[in-house]
Amino acid sequence: MTEPEWRANLRASARVALQGTVVYGAARFAGAFLAQYAVAAAIVQTVIAEWGAGRLGIAWSDPLAKMPSTRDVALRGLRGAGMGLSAAALVGVVVIATGAARLAPNVPAPVVAIVGAVVPAFMAARDELLQRGLVLRVLPAGTPSWVRLVACGLADVAATYGDGSTAPPLLAAAFFAGVAYGALWLRDRGAWLAWGAHAAFSWAAASLATGGLVDLRATTGTSIGQNWLTTAAIAVVALLAITTTRKRW
C-alpha cells in the first residue's frame, strides 16, 4: 500500500469513527431519555443503531456474498442463540459447582420468560451493530484478527464502564464477552450469529436465571456478575469461540 493510499484509508476510518461515535451517542442519549420505558428505549436505540449502521456501511450479512435467504438468516440467528444459551448454561454450571451460586426453589414462569426476551433481543442488536460492527468497520483492511478481537473486547469494556459498572470482574467479563462476539462476527462475516448468541445469553442472564426458568442466587456478598468465577467462565467461553471459529475467519 502506497503512502497516499494509507493516508486515504486513515482519513476514511477516522470519518467513520467520528460518525459512528455520534450515532452511538444518540442511541445512548435516547436510552437515557426513555429509561423509564425499557421496551421503548430498547426499540428506539436499535432503530437509531440500524439507521446509523446503514449509512456507515455496517451490514448484517457479508455485502460481498450472495443475498442470504430468510431461511439462511433465521438459521444463523438460531445457531447463535444455541451458542448463547449453551454459554449461559456453562457459566451457570461453573458458579453452582464452585459454590458461588445456588438454585433456589422456583416455579417457572413461561410468560415472564418469553416477555423477558424482548429487551435483550433489541439491546443485543444495538450493541452488535455499534460495539462490534462499527469497530470492525473502522479498522483498516488487513488488520490482524487478534487486533480486531481485542478492539471488540475493549469496546465492550468502555460501554460497560460508561453504564456505571466499574467493578473489575464486570469489566473483565465485558472484555471476554466482546472478544467472543467479535469471533462470531469474523466467522459469520456479519451480525446474525453474534446477535443470536448475544441476545440469548443476555436473555438467560436477565430472565431465565432469575425466575423465568430457574432462580439462581449468589451465595456470597457479591452478585453473580461481580464474581471472578463468572468472569473466568466467560473467559473460557471466549476461548471456545475463538478456537471453534478461527478456521473460518
- Counting the structural domains of the chain, the total is 1
Per-residue pLDDT of the chain (249 residues; tens, 9 = 90+): 666 777 777 888 899 999 999 999 999 999 999 999 999 999 999 999 999 999 999 999 988 888 999 999 999 999 999 999 999 999 999 999 999 999 999 988 888 899 899 999 999 999 999 999 999 999 987 889 999 999 999 999 999 999 999 999 999 999 999 999 999 999 999 999 999 999 999 999 989 998 899 999 999 878 898 899 999 999 999 999 999 888 777
Q: Output the nine-digit C-alpha cell for 107.
A: 416455579
52-88 burial, b at 16+ Cβ within 10 Å, e below that, comes to bbeebebbbbeeeeeebeeeeeeebbebbbebbbbbb
> What pLDDT score was predicted for residue 3?
67
What range does the domain containing 97 cover? 3-248
DSSP 8-state class, residue 105: P
Shortest CA distance to 194 belongs to which of 152, 145, 142? 152
Helix axes of 70-97 and 192-203: crossing angle, nearest 10 degrees? 40
Give this prediction's pTM: 0.93
Could you give the C-alpha distances from 101 to 58, 98, 171, 193, in angstroms and in order? 39, 8, 20, 29
User: Helix (H) and strand (E) counts for the chain?
Assistant: 10, 2
- Contact between 242 and 177 under an 8 Å Cβ cutoff? The reply is no
Return the percent helix, strand and coil in the chain, to nearest 5: 75, 5, 20
> What pLDDT score was predicted for residue 10?
82
